Amino acid sequence: MQLTSLVRAAVATAILIASHASHGQSALKLPDLGTSALQVLPLEKEQAIGDVMMMQIRSQSPLVQDPVLDEYLTSLGNKLVANANDVRFPFSFFWINNQAINAFAFYGGHVGVHTGLIAQADNESQLASVLGHEIAHVTQRHLARRIQQAKDNNALTLAGMIAGILTTVVAPDAGMAILAANSTQAQLSQLTHSRKAEQEADRFGMQTLYEAGFDPSQASEFLSKLSAQVRYQTKPPTFLLTHPLPDSRVSDVRLRAQQFAPRYVPTSLKFDLAKSRVLARYQYKSEDAQAYFENQLRLKATEMSKQALEYGLALALLDQNKLELAQDLLDKLLKHDENNLFYLDAYTDLLIAQKKPEQATKLLQLKYEFRPNNQVLTLNLANAAIEAKQFDTAEKVLKLFLLDKPQSTLAKDLLSKVYKEQDHKAAYHEMYASLLAQYGAYIKAADEIQRALNHINEQETVKEARLKALLSQYRQMQKELAKL
């Protein structure tokens, strides 16, 4: 599914909000966290900080808004979380469009993964080993411990430290440059995982990896791969800027993996398909991707399955508008696996490109009946229905989906388009305001609610009261941020 880029509203300033409730629930309040004298970080405040940092990331980072990749990453991440110890709250997983090998975790169970990580991983166990490691950083509250330690450094304010962590984990090169120019070594130590924290994350992450059914030996294989890059590059991989990798750590991880019984893990088609999608859409230009997949299919010397290579080639062809060649491949893939979400997503793009949105809508409605509210089917169905001008269908499935996933920016973006096409001006401005709020653009969100109020009639007293409450909420949010 390919959608237009969402609004990228900048968050007004640095970040600390007490509770980031879902839209329309309750106003946000600034937590009384002080500066560097915080003794304990309660879980609810950790979640609140994490949610606002996530809002900041939405507004400033190249997030991958891709339902198929989101579905895969969330499924893999949750499989690991279900087998982890000390899980205190739900986790969320998201992609950053960045070719560097990196992943990071921060307050409240948010785990970000660079597209470059899966592009360089050889198998699903390697990818899972990194996710398990990041999950352990959260469950063992390594970042939360830093806030507790910050009380010993009066020069490092809590707000400044969190902003620095946000900069460093999302763009480590920039973060480290800032620290080198302006900060003390004490501040640098706050922004880099200590060796003790890394050892702890390795230990808990390895156990989670094994319990979830993956091959623990692949954790050391992937670290060895990173270590090799250090030897041959003057600039280390991004992951190593925030995750120290002394030689002893690779050995420790290898020895720890040997404590588990050997395990054969079959090749994961979903991993291969996700990797092909990343290579085709985020790692290479479409022409280069076509050449890569054609070469791999000709050599037949890759660990990736033939289906995944053909799927990647189909995407590369589709993105170049070589529709007949793409259709030949997708028809063959769907014939052997008609319910595969990767293939259905690509086939929807194909039919829309062929000016056949009605056919795509019909196909997806049949699949949707068996898997209602699946995000890949729902968002593709809504997108196809909008293209086919079947706005009632799109509105129905999107409203149902948002009841289950109230923070879905893609669903809100699509539903705002539906309301605009239907000329439901009040509903459009309200939904667009909700979308803006998720990017921290509270002033603009308040402006949209004011426009919504201008398009309701005198009889809609309940709607008027609700919109006025939202208007007050967004204005209060902005005031809380202004206090910082």
Q: Counting Cβ atoms within 10 Å, is residue 338 exposed (0-12), middle (13-18) or buried (19+)?
A: exposed
Measured CA to CA, the distance from residue 278 to residue 272 in angstroms comes to 10
Q: Yes or no: say if 441 and 59 are a contact pair by the CB < 8 Å rule.
A: yes
Q: Yes or no: say if 278 and 242 are a contact pair by the CB < 8 Å rule.
A: no
Q: What pLDDT is stored for residue 339 in this prediction?
A: 96
Please give the model's pTM, rounded to 2 decimal places.
0.82
Q: Out of 51, 124, 202, 448, pick the active-site residue.
A: 202
Give the pair of three-digit tokens for residue 140: 């063992």
Annotated domain spans of the chain: 43-257
- In the block, tokens 């989906």 appear at 401
Tell me the H-state helices in 82-238: 115-120, 124-139, 142-149, 158-170, 172-182, 185-191, 195-211, 217-232
Q: Yes or no: say if 28 and 20 are a contact pair by the CB < 8 Å rule.
A: yes
Active site residue 202: yes
Active site residue 294: no
484 residues of the chain, pLDDT tens digit each: 654 433 333 233 223 333 333 333 334 443 433 333 234 567 777 777 777 777 777 777 788 999 999 999 999 999 999 999 888 888 999 999 988 888 888 878 889 999 999 999 999 999 999 999 899 988 887 776 666 665 555 444 555 555 655 555 555 443 333 333 333 334 334 434 566 777 888 888 889 999 999 999 998 888 887 766 656 555 555 555 555 555 666 778 888 888 888 888 899 999 999 999 999 999 999 999 999 999 999 987 667 799 999 999 999 999 999 999 999 999 999 999 999 999 999 999 999 999 999 999 999 999 999 999 999 999 999 999 999 999 999 999 999 999 999 989 999 999 999 999 999 999 999 999 999 998 888 999 999 999 999 999 988 999 999 999 999 999 988 887 665 4
User: Residue ranges for the binding site for Zn(2+)?
Assistant: 133, 137, 198
Q: What pLDDT is stored for residue 46 in this prediction?
A: 75
Task: State whether residue 113 is helix, strand or coil.
Answer: strand
Q: Out of 51, 66, 134, 319, pick the active-site residue.
A: 134
Measured CA to CA, the distance from residue 244 to residue 233 in angstroms comes to 16
- Measuring CA to CA, how many Å separate 6 from each of 157, 319, 409, 424? 33, 20, 8, 20
Q: Which residues pair with 113 in a beta bridge?
A: 95, 103
